[in-house]
Amino acid sequence: MSKTLRKALSYVPTYVVWILATIFTVVPVWWMIVVSARSRVELFNAPTLIINSFFTQNYTNVITDRTFQGYMVNSLIVSTGNALLVTLLALLATYALSRYKLSGSDNIFFWTITNRMAPPAAFLLPLFLMFTQVTNVKLGSLNFTLYDTHFGLIMLYCVFNLPFAIWLMKGIMDGIPIEMDEAAFVDGATTFGVIRMIILPLAAPGLAVTAILSWIFAWNEYLFAATLTSFRARTITTGLAEFVTVTGTNWGEMAAVATLTLIPSLIFITFAQRYIVMGLTFGAVKD
């Protein structure tokens, strides 16, 4: 057996593992699409992964439903607002942790990460009590209400997404030489001028990854959205439960909604996938 053949055969187990992992990931998604393309009668026939005819009524029913449209808009508002706020706060926090040698900064960074390690269900009861009690709180001329509002969900998701964003941005910020900041300060730049002219351009891939992952986490979240909203700020993931009724489950329309919820994430990732690779590898190799 030649050396080239032995080397090629050595990759076979790796290829097999990746093929199995791909099948394990893709088949459930494809099965969801198949279910969304079938009528109620066809769903109870012999199961098959082949789409013989596409039953479009499942999609038209949910797309023309004003309730579904409202849930989709709520998800877009909450996810986008959370991604923007988390990215901004993570940028400022990691800049301070990386550039200013504060006493105990490493402990602060570790403590921030531990907040993300706790199971979300552990915070559910105290958060529910806080959200239901904080109503019409006046801050100047503004009134704040947490329960069943976009503002409440955005702030809540920041609590859980910000530690992950800080952890992700910390390595990226450390990869930017501090000498560049010092040179800008010598030229008369302010701190925000350094962030705008130096940090933002160099950390753009990492910021893109942070925004994308924060957006996806907020978009897919179910537990808090189902507990801390009732109608006005209800998101699309919680709307899936409404297809389970006392008379049965409308599997076709539920699968259609689940399929539609994948589209924004796929579009988001498709246009920003090159930034994901750049951001996750930025600063991984140092001289």
Q: Do 144 and 93 belong together in one domain?
A: yes
253 with 57: CB under 8 angstroms? no
Structural domain that includes position 14: 1-55
Q: Are 264 and 140 in a shared domain?
A: yes
Instruction: Give the bridge partners for 142, in sequence order.
Output: 139
Paired tokens of 186: 């010598």
Residues 27 and 81 in one domain: no
Is the Cβ–Cβ distance between 68 and 257 less than 8 Å? Answer: yes
CATH code at 240? 1.10.3720.10
For residues 4 and 27, membership in a common domain is answered with yes
Count of structural domains, the chain = 2
Of the three residues 19, 40, 55, the one that is the final residue of a domain is: 55
Q: Is residue 188 part of a domain?
A: yes
On whether both 38 and 69 belong to a single domain, the answer is: no
Give the closest residue to 256 by CA, choosing from 28, 33, 41.
Answer: 33
CB atoms within 10 A of CB 226: 16
Q: Tell me whether residue 286 is in a domain.
A: no
Ordered per-residue pLDDT tens for the chain, 287 residues: 577 777 777 778 888 899 999 999 888 889 889 888 888 888 777 677 777 778 888 899 888 888 888 999 999 999 999 999 999 999 988 888 877 776 666 677 777 777 777 788 888 888 898 888 877 666 666 667 888 889 999 999 998 899 888 888 887 887 888 888 888 888 888 888 888 888 888 888 888 888 888 998 999 899 999 999 888 889 998 888 888 877 778 888 888 988 888 888 888 777 766 666 665 555 544 44
Among 78, 15, 43, CA closest to 250: 43
DSSP label of 24: H
Which amino acid is it at 243?
A: F
Longest CA–CA span in the chain (Å) reads 81
Single pTM value for the model: 0.82
Q: Note whether residue 46 is domain-resident.
A: yes
Q: Are residues 105 and 152 in the same domain?
A: yes
Q: What is the pLDDT of residue 83?
A: 93
